[in-house]
Amino acid sequence: MSKHINLKVDGKPFDLDLADPTTPLLYLLRDELGLNNPHFGCGLSQCGACTVLVNGTPMRSCVLPATAANDTKITTLAGLGSPEHPHPVQQALIDEQAFFCGYCMNGWVMTAVALVRDKPRATDAEIRQAFSGLKCRCGSHMSIIRAVKRLMEAA
């Protein structure tokens, strides 16, 4: 049974019939819509590489059924900001030259966006708590923390 899905991704509306309603959101975004963000990391909600904002909340798209994203607004890295108008989190991470391979980036960036919005003066412990569970294999943690603290100090 195909399922009708209607959603906005990075401001663009999409309207489609999903042949397999068990398809997770990640595969809808990548395979059906042809988008490059986010990434498949584990398919188990353990790493965060697939994170997108669903109505502003960071969600792991690898386990979220696409049908659950019906009538939502999805934001990926490409929808956060642009080189001309970067999101402050993007700018802070560029300024800190954070990340190595960057494959894990979606989880950290989307979590940082929510953190900076919800808790603009978070402490070191609160920053670490917010990011806890996300994986980065290259060891980018120090520069990510520095970038977020930069934003906290600016707030």
Contact residues for another protein, defined by CB under 8 A: 19-20, 22-24, 27, 30-31, 34, 36-37, 39-44, 46-47, 49, 76-83, 86, 90, 93-94, 97-105, 109, 124, 128-129, 131-145
CA 91 centroid distance within chain: 16
The distance of closest approach from Cβ of residue 34 to another protein in the complex, given in angstroms and rounded to an integer, is 7
Taking the complex as a whole, the smallest distance from the CB of residue 46 to another protein amounts, in Å, to: 4
Q: How far is the CB of 2 from another protein (least distance, A)?
A: 12
Q: What is the Cα 81 distance to its own chain's centre? A: 13
Whether the CB-CB separation of 7 and 70 falls below 8 Å is answered with: yes
In the complex with another protein, the residue whose CB is nearer, 29 or 72, is 29
Q: How far is the CB of 137 from another protein (least distance, A)?
A: 5
Q: Which is nearer to another protein, 122 or 131 (CB)?
A: 131
Residue (69 or 109) nearer to another protein, CB: 109
